[in-house]
Amino acid sequence: MTLTDRKQLALAKRIVVKVGSSSITGENEQKLPVLVDALAQAHQRGAEIILVTSGAIATALPLFGLNSRPVELAGSQAMAAIGQSRLMVRYQQALDKYSIIAGQVLLTAGDFEQAETRANAKAALDTLVSLKVLPIVNENDTVATSEIRFGDNDRLAALVAILVEADALILLSDIDALYTMPPELPGAQKVDYVAYGQDLSSIQVGGSSSSVGTGGAVTKIGAASTAADCSVSVLLTSADNVAAALNGEAVGTWFQGKN
């Protein structure tokens, strides 16, 4: 059933949550355990939580004295290979106090294009949640090419939410909601609600404000539209609001899914 109000998130059975690199790495590294606390609380009340996370590349950069992701694809792939295991260790350590086991799932765009691989991915995710495991999904950056990259995992999160027939998708970033223009500009107004099929052409959006991420409002609006088209409602808010979002509080921007 398509959720019609963010208040229903407090009772939703299956929720996909996506968090961007800049929200859990670098100067915001300490926010990862806070994110996990909120996810664990929802998990413990019986919600099936699937986390889509960025951050593998950003986790590796400081090890090599880098401030931004490599321009060359091979360099980014190498950083992903190094950072992915370290990122998973951070998540598992934060989950240990709740006795919750994390399960790593790495996907590429190609996994959604073939019926067999799509079915296999769904079966794996369904099995993990049935075991009370918290699946942690990331793009398989080590083998992904520039032509099939998801865009800071926003589109990946939408595809995962559709695949697992989630009740809702929560997209977390550094901004608390969608605004009529970049929020730092004078006159920017918060958008509280987006009806299904609503024309958003008047919204002035920018790209990622982070040197480690590749997303931004453009990819988030696109991901929200993709999910909404398949009857998955979406909440866009900041990582700081994750607990409030999961509790159904009045935060962020609600994108109504198709009924």
DSSP code per residue over 102-165 = EEEEEE-GGGGTSHHHHHHHHHHHHHHHHTT-EEEEEE-TTT--TTT--STTHHHHHHHHHHTT
How would you label 116-133 residue by residue, b for 16+ Cβ within 10 Å and e otherwise?
eeeeebeeebbebbeeeb
Coil, strand, or helix at residue 192? Answer: coil
Asked if 2 and 257 touch (Cβ cutoff 8 Å), the reply is: yes
Is the Cα torsion angle 130, 92, 241, 178 positive or negative in sign? negative
Q: In a structure prediction context, what are the per-residue pLDDT tens digits for the chain, which is 259 residues long? A: 799 999 999 999 999 999 999 999 999 999 999 999 999 999 999 999 999 999 999 999 999 999 988 888 889 899 999 999 999 999 999 999 999 999 999 998 888 989 999 999 999 999 999 999 999 999 988 877 654 466 568 999 999 999 999 999 999 988 999 999 999 999 999 999 999 999 998 898 765 444 444 457 888 999 999 999 999 999 999 999 999 999 999 999 999 999 9
6-255: CATH architecture: 3-Layer(aba) Sandwich (3.40)
Say if residue 54 carries a ligand binding annotation. Answer: yes
Q: 198: left (phi > 0), else alpha (psi -120 to 50), else beta?
A: beta
Say if residue 22 carries a ligand binding annotation. Answer: no
Say if residue 18 carries a ligand binding annotation. Answer: yes
Q: What is the length of the chain?
A: 259
* Cα angle for residues 181, 184, 185 (degrees, 5° grid): 55
